[in-house]
Amino acid sequence: MMSSAIASVFRGTIIHSLELETVQILHNAALGVSHLGSIVFVRPDVDTDDKFNLIQQEYGFESNKVVNLGNKFLIPGFIDTHAHAPQYHNAGTGTDLPLLKWLEKYTFPVESKFRDLSFAKNVYTKVVDRMLKNGTTTCCYYATIHLDASLLLADIVTERGQRGFIGKVCMDRHSPDHYVETTEDSIRNTRQFVEQLQARGNPLVQPIVTPRFAPSCTDSLMHDLGKLARERNTLVQSHISENLDEVQWVKSLYPNLNSYAEVYKHFDLLTNKTIMAHCVHLSDQELDLFKQQEASIAHCPQSNFTLGSGALDVRKVLSKNIKIGLGSDVSGGYSASLLSAVRDTTKCSNAVLFGDRTHKTLGYEAAFYLATVGGSKVVCMEDKLGNFVEGKYFDAQVIDPYVQGGPFDVFADDTPKDIFQKFIFLGDDRNVNSVYVNGKKVI
Ligand SMILES: [Zn+2]
């Protein structure tokens, strides 16, 4: 192999998931990344310099390419499968109302301000930086209804080097006068958004077709968006069954369709490229429909607790073999860090247990899997992202559990797994030493 093939080699402890309930810890590992950003080799137990030298000879890389992790460790970047970039402005506020009132009082007013590009630039720069600093290497973003501001978000994600799916939000009914589109504007601007972003040819930043949710989109708009997503081969994202009032509302809007999930299917918006946020109150039949359509779920437990929406039974979703990952749902969820979603996934599972003592709860290992491998399946990139398997892209975070002034303490008798668990429950961006996307250092 030519020496130029290897751009960097990481030496030290690597932690990732290969299956749901187990975290794999590779000690004294060596991991090589190509100039194209993919993982060329992963070798465990390289515990002597002699063993390392053999790998160096095999791949012919220079010693200055080697990053010694020391007492830091490497984990995959987080994949946030559901976040509203403009709502980051409100993160940590407006936590006192249920969904439909919350949208009216806090969310629509702030989103409508994104017609002002300087306002948009300030918030979008801050949210992307915050996400990256917290180790989110891939994010599914909702922008707003504004074409220019949505393209600006794509520019900022591109410039910062994050991997992202960017959606111009579509809503042409049941919305306030100051924040609504005509059907024609919505479909025309969405088409333009998708075509412009695809024409840029940046594989890291792609458009995603984004009907806000069924109540805010007319039949005609939903129909055209389903067609557009097929034609341009994009992912689709929307919301479903977050809150009981919302479910009732959809029932009254579509008396002739069997269920909320059927509504999206009816408009060809429930496909194997669809990411539906929440899914808290889906019936068994609707879950079966998700499975049949190979649609995926963005589980947003912090948002579901904060807005009082409910507790999704993730174990049931998993037992039906439906794709599921985690979402921050900024700002229904107040934290842009996916670590919060990981913690709240374990709490949400405990909440399900309170009502059903037979529920087999999800531990932090499973929640970590969902934040990484689970997310990779949701964005249809399970062969490219989610863990450190040869051939996948190197999207990673270097975690420093010993950082000065950090959020937790490590004791001499803590095992590597203890330290990892402390990071999961107590860690924050102070522990995130550096972040890589597609092999490139972005933090
Ligand atoms: Zn949302």
Q: Where are the domains of the chain?
A: 3-76+388-441, 78-378
Residues with CB under 5 Å of ion ligand 1 are 277, 329
The pLDDT tens digits for 290-327 are: 999 999 999 999 999 999 999 999 999 999 999 999 99
CA of 347 to the centre of ligand 1 (A): 20
Is residue 2 over pLDDT 60?
no
- For residue 32, the cross-strand partners are 9, 41
The pLDDT tens digits for 11-45 are: 999 999 999 999 999 999 999 999 999 999 999 99
Better pLDDT: 3 or 16? 16
Is residue 272 over pLDDT 90?
yes
Pairing of strands 432-437, 136-142: unpaired
CA of 329 to the centre of ligand 1 (A): 5
Is residue 61 over pLDDT 80?
yes
CB 413 within 8 A of CB 419: no
Mean pLDDT of 329-347: 98
CA of 126 to the centre of ligand 1 (A): 19
CA of 328 to the centre of ligand 1 (A): 9
Mean pLDDT of 220-242: 98
CA of 24 to the centre of ligand 1 (A): 32
3-76+388-441 CATH fold: Urease, subunit C; domain 1 (2.30.40)
| Residue 343 CB partners (closer than 8 Å, separation 6+) | 364, 367, 424, 425
Q: How confident is the model at residue 3 (pLDDT cuts 50, 70, 90)?
A: very low
Calculate the alpha carbon distances from 41 to 244, 384, 393, 438 in Å: 49, 14, 12, 15
CA of 212 to the centre of ligand 1 (A): 8
The pLDDT tens digits for 101-157 are: 999 999 999 999 999 999 999 999 999 999 999 999 999 999 999 999 999 999 999
The average confidence (pLDDT) of the chain is 97
CB 165 within 8 A of CB 141: yes
CA of 300 to the centre of ligand 1 (A): 8
The pLDDT tens digits for 342-352 are: 999 999 999 99
Q: How many CB atoms lie within 10 A of CB 173?
A: 14
Q: How many angstroms separate the CA atoms of 167 and 84, rounded?
A: 9
Mean pLDDT of 57-67: 96
The pLDDT tens digits for 391-423 are: 999 999 999 999 999 999 999 999 999 999 999
The pLDDT tens digits for 362-372 are: 999 999 999 99
Lowest average pLDDT, out of 3-7, 139-143, 205-209, 359-363, goes to 3-7
Q: Which CATH architecture does the domain made up of 78-378 adopt?
A: Alpha-Beta Barrel (3.20)
CA of 242 to the centre of ligand 1 (A): 9
Mean pLDDT of 217-237: 98
Percent of the chain exceeding pLDDT 90 equals 99
Q: Is 82 helix (H, G, I), strand (E, B) or coil?
A: strand
CA of 205 to the centre of ligand 1 (A): 20
314, two tokens: 């993730």
pLDDT confidence of residue 24: 98
Question: How many residues does the structure list for the chain?
Answer: 443
CA of 99 to the centre of ligand 1 (A): 10
CA of 118 to the centre of ligand 1 (A): 24
pLDDT confidence of residue 1: 46
CA of 355 to the centre of ligand 1 (A): 26
CA of 161 to the centre of ligand 1 (A): 24
Percent of the chain exceeding pLDDT 70 equals 99
CA of 239 to the centre of ligand 1 (A): 6
CA of 433 to the centre of ligand 1 (A): 29
Q: How many angstroms separate the CA atoms of 214 and 384, rounded?
A: 31
| Residue 136 CB partners (closer than 8 Å, separation 6+) | 77, 78, 79, 80, 162, 328, 336, 337, 338
Mean pLDDT of 178-189: 98
242, two tokens: 């977050």
405, two tokens: 């002034």
| Residue 130 CB partners (closer than 8 Å, separation 6+) | 88, 336
CA of 443 to the centre of ligand 1 (A): 27
CA of 83 to the centre of ligand 1 (A): 6
pLDDT confidence of residue 192: 98
- Which residue, among 147, 169, 180, 248, has the nearest Cα to 213 in the 3D structure? 169
Q: How many angstroms separate the CA atoms of 435 and 134, rounded?
A: 9
CA of 404 to the centre of ligand 1 (A): 36
Is residue 88 over pLDDT 60?
yes
Biggest distance spanned by C-alpha atoms of the chain: 71
